[in-house]
Amino acid sequence: MVSSLTTERVRRDVEVVAHAGLGLDEFFAETVESLRRAVPVDAACVATFDPKTQMLTSARKYGDLLGQDQRDPDFGLLEYGGCEPSSYRELASRKCDAVGMNLLTRGQVKRSERMSQLMIPEYCFHDEARLSIRDGDRLWAGIAMFRSGAGCRPFDEDEIGFLASLSRTLAHGVRIGLLSSVVTEPVVTEPRTSIMHGPAVLIIDRDNEIVQMSAGSEERIDDLAAGPNSASAVNPVFGLIGAARRYGAGETDVPPRLRVRGKSGMWLVINASPLSSADGRVGEVVVTIEEARPPEIIPLVVEAFGLTARERDVTQMVLQNVATKDIAAALHVSAYTVQDHLKSIFDKAGVRSRRELIARVYFDQYANRLGDTLTPSGWFASEE
Residue 252's CB: how many other CB atoms inside 10 A?
16
Task: Specify the DSSP class assigned to residue 229.
Answer: T
pLDDT at 222: 94
pLDDT in tens, the chain (384 residues): 567 889 999 999 999 999 998 999 999 999 999 999 999 999 999 999 999 999 999 999 999 999 999 999 999 999 999 999 999 999 999 999 999 999 999 999 999 999 999 999 999 999 999 999 999 889 999 999 999 998 899 999 999 999 999 999 999 999 988 887 665 544 444 444 445 567 899 999 999 999 999 998 999 999 999 889 999 999 999 999 999 999 999 999 888 999 998 888 888 999 999 998 767 678 899 999 999 887 888 888 888 888 888 998 998 888 888 999 999 999 999 999 999 999 999 988 888 898 888 877 765 555 444 445 545 444 445 544
Q: Dihedral, CA atoms, 366, 367, 371, 376, nearest 10 degrees?
A: 20
Instruction: Report the C-alpha gap between 93 and 105 in whole angstroms.
Output: 19
Query: What are the φ/ψ torsions at residue 257 (nearest 5 degrees)?
Result: -155, 145
pLDDT at 186: 47
Which ranges in the chain belong to alpha helices (H)?
Answer: 4-18, 24-38, 72-81, 88-93, 101-104, 113-114, 120-123, 157-164, 167-182, 217-222, 235-248, 294-304, 309-319, 324-331, 335-349, 354-361, 364-367
Query: What are the φ/ψ torsions at residue 273 (nearest 5 degrees)?
Result: -135, 135
pTM: 0.84
Can you tell me whether residue 148 is helix, strand or coil? Answer: strand
Instruction: Report the C-alpha gap between 164 and 132 in whole angstroms.
Output: 8
**In contact, 356 and 362? CB cutoff 8 Å:** no
Cα radius of gyration (the chain)? 22
